[in-house]
Amino acid sequence: MAEFIMELNDEQKEVRDWIHGFAADVMRPAAAEWDEREETPWPVIQEAAKIGIYSLDFYAQQYFDPTGLGIPMAMEELFWGDAGIALSIVGTGLAAVGVLANGTEEQIGTWIPQMYGTPDDVKVAAFCSSEPDAGSDVASMRTRAVYDEAADEWVLNGTKTWATNGGIANVHVVVAVVDAELGSKGHASFIVPPNTPGLSQGQKFQKHGIRASHTAEVVLEDVRIPGSCLLGGKQKLDERLARARERAKAGGGERVKNAAMATFEASRPAVGAMAVGTARAAYEEALEYAKTREQFGRPIIDNQGVAFQLADMRTSIDAARLLVWRASWMAVNGKPFTAAEGSQSKLFASETAKKVTAQAVQILGGNGFTREYPVERMHRDAAIYTIFEGTSEIQRLVIARTLSGMPIR
């Protein structure tokens, strides 16, 4: 087990500086344009692929960093550059984590490379879990997967929503119900290969923030996929469902986590790191502005009202980063989240990003309210962190349940 440390080693610092350079030189100059266009920034993704940031190898290296700090360090720097473009670059990672968390070695080796493509022909992937009537309430999921034993195929029907890269992805990972009587325990994840008939893009959403990231509905109409596209395989699924049924009969709780929750649990510290990156970017803009903007003959940072805000902003950012690093280290070293540390990190970092970006707008005053200054965009982008991959309310519920052992509702 790697020792928990609070400082990056020399190799990690080199990687951090490399990513920071890309974020500063490529992402930031393009951020306002792609925010206005509300389109996937394919040229920027391709540039990331050419230098190796958008690749399976890069994320594998960070994912298997024994300190656990590789992924949060990378996320923080990319989202410091721009949240919308960064989400377009890392959105594929959620689908990849879904395969890593639930798939066999063969499935991992087959499908994850197809999610990224090549530097000359970049691809993206989508993780499809939320539905119009089932966001945080995963037990209300309606998308169904029915096994056709004669053909050894699964047939999927339903509508997914809020899917990053939904409809434009090369590979879709879809969570569906296989046994409705088991509620959320009767879910499974499936790979929908490229160009599968019956899968189409529904509504594309025009969003308040992260507008360079494509978000849309995914419609599944009699989508037939090979039996081998069930993540983990049918034998493993049948065994898990049998255990769930037995526990249900006995009146006990099923401890095996469903496919969607396994993916979200693994990604929560990474989302916290994204929020830290956005918060840090807004703080740095506000600090520089406060040092150079003069009112009444002196820089506005000379006023305690401004200086104390900046002090609080920096303190909250550093605290959020430490929570993220702790959860990331625990996850990679197999330490259980006995106090819901993953949810703690996501909750605190998300709320910090919203607060810090709002304070940055306030410090810049009227200028902060205009699109001529990036804090306006950062403030819009930060709103998503308390919503996606588990709202702040859901994180508090997870934490409270974990601490108390009670079925708090």
Active-site residues, by number, are 389
Query: Residue 72 corresponds to which amino acid?
Result: P
Neighbours of 198 (CB within 10 A): 15
Interatomic CA distance for residues 160 and 219, integer angstroms: 6
Positive or negative, the Cα torsion across 223, 227, 231, 236?
A: positive
Q: Rg of the Cα trace of the chain? A: 22
Question: Mind giving me the DSSP string for 291-304?
Answer: HH-EETTEEGGGSH
Query: Residue 104 corresponds to which amino acid?
Result: T
344 contacts 327 by C-beta, under 8 angstroms? yes
Element (H, E) at 225: strand 215-226
94 contacts 164 by C-beta, under 8 angstroms? yes
The residue written with tokens 């594929």 in the block is 92
326 Cβ neighbours under 8 A, 6+ residues apart: 4, 341, 345
210 contacts 163 by C-beta, under 8 angstroms? no
Joined tokens for residue 277:
């990156």
248 Cβ neighbours under 8 A, 6+ residues apart: 181, 182, 254
Smallest CA-to-CA distance from 15 within 65, 88, 56, 49 is with 65
Task: Provide φ and ψ at 233, rounded to 5°.
Answer: 90, 160
Pairing between β-strand 117-118 and β-strand 153-164 as defined by DSSP bridges: unpaired
The residue written with tokens 């978000």 in the block is 215
Q: What is the 3-state secondary structure (H, E, C) of 302-329?
A: HCHHHHHHHHHHHHHHHHHHHHHHHHHH
